[in-house]
Structure 1
Amino acid sequence: MAQKAAKSLASKNAATLNRTHQITVLLHSLFWVLHFVFNRPSALLRYILLTLPALGIEFYLERLGRPRYSPQDGSLKQSGEDMSAKGLTEYMWDVTYWTWGCLVAACVFGDRAWWLYLAVPFWSVYLLWTTFAGMKKGLAGMGGSGEASGETTSKRQQKLEKRGGQRVQHR
């Protein structure tokens, strides 16, 4: 039972990464088969530019999350990072899923569906803005006195200050 959590994380990561690679190969193959069968005019540069970020993210997630095993005895050496972590990893999965959606839409509706990919930069700007606004709000109360930053004191504390502050009893 040693390293049970690490072993379960390793198996979960391996399954997630294998499934991700299979879906990626399937969708890109479908795109190219439809491209050649229906002789669709496709801008190769657009396809490369818009799928390259997701492929780069997939490569990074592979390096980050793939478990490593010892070659001598096959024991778990490193389980890899959690693929369902919040923050940047979650954003990378969002970009990957959105790219898959755009790829399917390009298969069904043609090359004009790549315009859907513009949602990614807008989503990035929105996330940056909300993060910045949250940090600005959190850091607002760190400087100056209570009145200057808009803080008010409780009635109990006001009474204590009126009487001369808290008194300490010595025994």
Structure 2
Amino acid sequence: MAQKASKTLAARNSSVLLRTHLITLALHILHLTLHLTFTRPRSLKYYYILALPTLVIEFYLDRIGRPTYTADGSTIRSPGEDLGAAGLTEYMWDVLYWTWGCIGAVSVFGDRGWWLWLVIPAYSVWLAYSTFTGMRSGLAGFGAGEEQGAGTGAESKRQKKMEKRGGQRMQYR
């Protein structure tokens, strides 16, 4: 059972990537079939422009998550990155899933469904803003903010308790 964690991660990554590729293939075939069958001939410009980032993301996720094996195929050289990791990988999955939903909406409702894709940049702006404000409040105790906080009585609960007991006492042994 050597490298059990690596084997588990490699198996999970392989299954996730296979499922992702099959869903993407099915959605694109469905969209193109419905588009070419039931609609008047029109440009696929929006489809190409808005589906291209998803295909690039999917290629990137495949590149970092695909396990590599030795030449004989018996042992794992690298299980690949964890595709369930938080942060940028999680954001890429969100973009991928949202674009799948947009392709489904366009297949059913027509080209106006591509307007749903504007949620992705709006979500990015909100995520950046919330990260910035969280970081700013987390760093409020450093630098100039600390000097202002000392005069206004911004003390922790521990400091207040120590004040109530008569202050901090030094004990020498």
Asked whether the two chains share a fold, i.e. TM above 0.5, the reply is yes
* 2:20 is the alignment partner of 1:15: no
The 1:43–1:157 alpha-carbon spacing in structure 2 relative to 1, beyond 3 Å, is farther
Which residue in 1 is equivalent to 2:76? 76
List structure 1 runs of 4+ shifted beyond 4 angstroms.
none
Which residue in 1 is equivalent to 2:112? 112
Which residue in 2 is equivalent to 1:154? 160
1:28-43 correspondence runs (5 A): 28-43=28-43
What's the Cα RMSD here?
1.7
Q: What is the Cα deviation at residue 35 of structure 1?
A: 1.4
Q: What is the Cα deviation at residue 105 of structure 1?
A: 0.5
Do 1:141 and 1:149's aligned partners in 2 also have CA atoms closer than 8 Å?
no
The 1:16–1:149 alpha-carbon spacing in structure 2 relative to 1, beyond 3 Å, is farther
Q: Percent identity?
A: 51
Do 1:66 and 1:80's aligned partners in 2 also have CA atoms closer than 8 Å?
yes
Unaligned runs of 5+ in 2: none
Q: What is the Cα deviation at residue 150 of structure 1?
A: 5.4
Distance in 1, matches of 2:35 and 2:137, equals 50
Residue type at the aligned position of 1:103: I
> Paired residues, what number?
166
Q: What is the Cα deviation at residue 72 of structure 1?
A: 2.6
Q: What is the TM-score when the length of structure 2 is the normalising length?
A: 0.89
Distance in 1, matches of 2:142 and 2:162, equals 23
**In the TM superposition, what whole-angstrom CA distance separates every residue of 1:110-157 from its partner, at most 9, and x where no partner exists?**
111111101000001010010001000000012234515752131314
Distance in 1, matches of 2:77 and 2:66, equals 11
The 1:116–1:149 alpha-carbon spacing in structure 2 relative to 1, beyond 3 Å, is farther
